[in-house]
């Protein structure tokens, strides 16, 4: 995902899903000169779909600055915990997009 020119940083964690139990969700930081939007989310999801095996496919994408550890690495544990809490509360981020929202970006054969 970070090979996409619009992505500066990304982290993927599981996100609860009523049908599939959990799906991969990416937290993305846009590169400079890029603005988070539905169109950009569609482009990133399509980029990932072309380069990843279907079972690795990103199903959700959120533009957000991920938490960092003291050493500057992405705090995936904190991301997982926040995602579990958000799904349990039935909440959705303001810049969160689901693959299903883009019919032309639907996965192969699904």
pTM of the predicted model, to two decimals? 0.88
Closest by CA position to 97, among listed 26, 32, 34 = 26
- pLDDT-derived band at 109 (thresholds 50, 70, 90) equals very low
Q: What confidence tens digit (pLDDT) does each residue in 26-80 have?
A: 999 999 999 999 999 999 999 999 999 988 889 999 999 999 999 999 999 999 9
Whole-angstrom distance, CA of residue 66 vs CA of residue 108: 30
Q: Domain segments of the chain: what residues? A: 1-75
What percentage of the chain has pLDDT greater than the value 90?
Answer: 73
- Please state the CATH superfamily assignment of the domain spanning residues 1-75 in this structure: ANL, C-terminal domain (3.30.300.30)
What integer pLDDT is reported at residue 55 of this predicted model?
85
């Amino acid at each position: 995902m970070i090979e996409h020119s619009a992505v500066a940083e990304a982290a993927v964690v599981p996100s609860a899903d009523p049908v599939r139990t959990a799906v991969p969700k990416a937290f993305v930081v846009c590169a400079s000169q890029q603005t988070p939007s539905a169109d950009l989310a569609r482009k990133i999801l399509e980029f990932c779909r072309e380069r990843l095996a279907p079972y690795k496919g990103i199903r959700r994408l959120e533009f957000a600055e991920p938490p960092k550890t003291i050493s500057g690495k992405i705090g995936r544990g904190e991301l997982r915990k926040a995602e579990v809490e958000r799904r349990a509360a039935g909440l959705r981020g303001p810049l969160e997009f689901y693959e299903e929202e883009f019919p032309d970006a639907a996965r192969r054969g699904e």
